[in-house]
Amino acid sequence: MNTSLFLGIDISKEWIDAYLFPTDQKWHVERTPQDIAAWISSLPSGITLAVMEATGRFEILVAALLVEKGIPTSIINPRQIHNFASALGTQAKTDELDARMIAQFAAAIKPVPRQLPSDQEAELKELVTRRRQLVETATAEKNRLCTTSNKRVRKSVESHLRWLARQIGDIEDQITALIKSSPVWCAKQHILTSTCGVGNVTAFTLLAELPELGKLDRRKIASLSGLAPFTHASGKWRGKSFIQGGREPIRRALFMASQCAIRYNPVIAGFYQNLINRGKPHRVAHTACMRKLLTILNARIRDSFYVNSQSLFA
């Protein structure tokens, strides 16, 4: 009988620990491109699936080399491994044990391998992430400026704010140029920004953080974005539904877009007012509008791009 092989990989800043289930093979590899490439080339053939946690981009090189070798690879949320270990009653935690746990998770759950982003997609996501970091820093500096009375400190903060504004502008120019270099992204951006309430920032955030837009149904796309309500009920007890998880940058972008849409988009405005008239709290109604706006954008991308893509370039 052929035995399925599952490779669990734990990645840290300095090292990689790996475990092959069920053969009990272990590796401890220094996290350099040369050592990683040599290790992957030495892996046994016939590995069914390699699984690793998302670790803040440390995993990208490893995943790319595994895919290049033809090994199906899945990058998963670390919370899934934590919950899996808790379910098994595992208390100890080391890099070696983490690799073993990831391999056991792969064998038990068999997560679906995901296609890795292209170099262009990865570049867009990094630029959008960098812009978000700069905006957050600028917001923090503006808050400090409001509470600072010392002239020298104010001058320092104001100087930093001017530098941040130039950096944000430069990053936005790079994002715009990158999107213009791709006819696909240009077409999608046009579809997104033609929806009342959606501006350029929301559009390129969706392009970078939600490449699945238009490819999934409304329930899956809402769940992926962290906007799908989860019901809590047991017996006769009915708890409140709530959202959790998903991709936070998407929710942030849709939060601002939906605020504008509630005021100026007739469809979203009517939907919001109907919920308020039914006694829904403002936060619940606003979240529902975010989900409604995402559903509209998903359908427009699906219908205008994937169903009838030739018309966009005619």
User: What are the residue boundaries of the structural domains of the chain, listed by start?
Assistant: 5-109, 118-181, 182-314
For residues 256 and 275, what is the distance between their CA atoms, to the nearest angstrom? 19
For residue 2, the model assigns a pLDDT of 53
For residue 307, the model assigns a pLDDT of 61
Which 8-state DSSP code applies to residue 114? Answer: -
| Cβ atoms within 10 Å of 281's Cβ, excluding its own | 10
| pTM assigned to the model | 0.79
Reply yes or no on whether the pLDDT at 310 is more than 80. Answer: no
For residues 71 and 5, what is the distance between their CA atoms, to the nearest angstrom? 11
Q: Which tops the pLDDT comparison, 140 or 228?
A: 140
For residues 59 and 66, what is the distance between their CA atoms, to the nearest angstrom? 11
- CATH number of the 5-109 domain: 3.30.420.40
Average pLDDT over residues 182-202: 94
For residues 213 and 217, what is the distance between their CA atoms, to the nearest angstrom? 9
Local confidence band at 186 (pLDDT 50, 70, 90 cut-offs) = very high
For residue 234, the model assigns a pLDDT of 64
Q: Which ranges in 181-309 belong to alpha helices (H)?
A: 183-193, 200-209, 218-224, 248-264, 266-277, 282-301
Q: What is the mean pLDDT of the chain?
A: 89
